[in-house]
Amino acid sequence: MTEAQRAFMILAIISFCVAAGPVARLINAYQKDVYWTHTKHPLGLDAAKGHVQVYVAGERLDEALKGGRLHMTKDGKTFPLVAKDVGLRVNRLHEFTRMDVVFSTVLLTMGAVFLALLVIVTLAHRSGKSAPPPPANE
């Protein structure tokens, strides 16, 4: 085994082993799905404004609430809904797993590139061809 083959093999193994951590965290996060905001502390419409838009009968919920067009009947009494009556739970999984996706993609790609280079160097070595000599210093 040449030095180049050994180097590419070691780099590929290291890349795949290091990628195992972020990949395992991603799998665990998607299986447990624990990244919802708590039921006791739902977000109000104002807090979720940049993340969610809810529509009722083609109209934005916050506008319908401001206009007093939504009502609720409870215990035989009807009253208008207001923004504080609405709470939203949001799944924030993407916020916690974003960097794991980036790291695992980069590391797995690096491992695949090193494996491809290992194959190329091995095939070139077996066919009797060698890599071109380095340029001579002038």
Domain encompassing residue 99: 1-35+91-131
pTM: 0.54
Asked if 49 and 4 sit in the same domain, the reply is no
Same domain? For 45 and 78 the reply is: yes
Q: Are residues 3 and 18 in the same domain?
A: yes
Q: What is the mean pLDDT of the chain?
A: 85
Q: What does the pLDDT read at residue 131?
A: 57
Higher pLDDT, 59 or 48: 59
Q: Is residue 138 part of a domain?
A: no
Domains: count for the chain: 2
Mean pLDDT of 92-104: 84
Residue 16 in domain:
yes
**pLDDT over threshold 80, residue 5:** yes
C-beta of residue 114 within 8 angstroms of C-beta of residue 67: no
Q: What are phi and psi of 119, to 5 degrees?
A: -65, -45
